[in-house]
Amino acid sequence: AQLERACALLQALVPQMARSVFGHLHSVAFANMRNERGPMLTASGGDSTPCMIFIAPEELANPWDTAVHIMHEAVHLKLSDLVRTSAAVVREDMVRLPWGREISVSNCLFAFHAYVHLQLFRTAVEQLGPQLHDVYGAPESYRAGTRPHAMSVVNNDTAHRYGRSIDRARYLGEMLEGEWSHLLSPGGFELVHWLRSSLAPVDAAMFADAREAA
């Protein structure tokens, strides 16, 4: 019931995005997961479990972030399906991110793709969400029970420079179009440029940064 509630919220806020990603998501598993960094909130299976995502059971209590989790992992599934038809990366270098991870360039592209979609979802939460508060509760009402993380629309880790999704999206977009651009195929570079262009209208601060740079 909680999963269906979150899916309905996702469809109400971003109907086009929901239709797009649900075509790549066929099943959801609930699991307690850990990796070398500690407990995991969500995961997507990729080749080992195609069209399937995993969500920690406690993450179902907050419909706003449950919707984010579904969107986040389903967006990964969609991009995973797309890159099978055309290589997006020509050299798989490892890079260190300022929020403490070392990952491949292709994983940076996957992360950037998800963070841009999250920012569009966050804008929908801010602009359309209030009319849904009577049904789902206000996002801030779930803050006390939500662990802070960058993908959340309820509780970000504001104590850290890259504790918000928008800061990570800006960084990854700048690096993928700049210092790391030679590692991308022409199609991969075009995807990054399209994602940055999609993000710009909903990020007033990005426009301010661009004017200052000019």
38, amino acid identity: G
Work out the average pLDDT over 171-190. Answer: 94
Cβ distance 84 to 183 under 8 Å? Answer: no
Residue with tokens 């570079």: 189
19 confidence band (pLDDT: 50, 70, 90): very high
Q: What is the pLDDT of residues 73-121, one digit of tens each?
A: 999 888 887 666 558 888 889 999 999 889 999 889 999 999 999 999 9
Q: How confident is the model at residue 197 (pLDDT cuts 50, 70, 90)?
A: very high
- Distance, in Å, from the CA atom of 65 to the CA atom of 206, rounded to the nearest integer, reads 25
Highest mean pLDDT: which range of 17-26, 29-38, 167-176: 167-176
Percent with pLDDT over 90 in the chain: 50
Q: Which of residues 162 and 208 earns the better pLDDT score?
A: 162
| Alpha carbons 200 and 24: distance in angstroms, whole number | 26
| pLDDT given for residue 210 in this prediction | 47
Closest CA to 188 of 112, 118, 119: 112
Q: Residue 101: what pLDDT? A: 84
- Please provide the DSSP assignment of 89-128 as one string: BSS--EEE-TTS-EEEHHHHHHHHHHHHHHHHHHHHHHHH
Would you state the pLDDT for residue 2? 93
Percentage helix, strand, coil, to 5, in the chain? 60, 10, 30
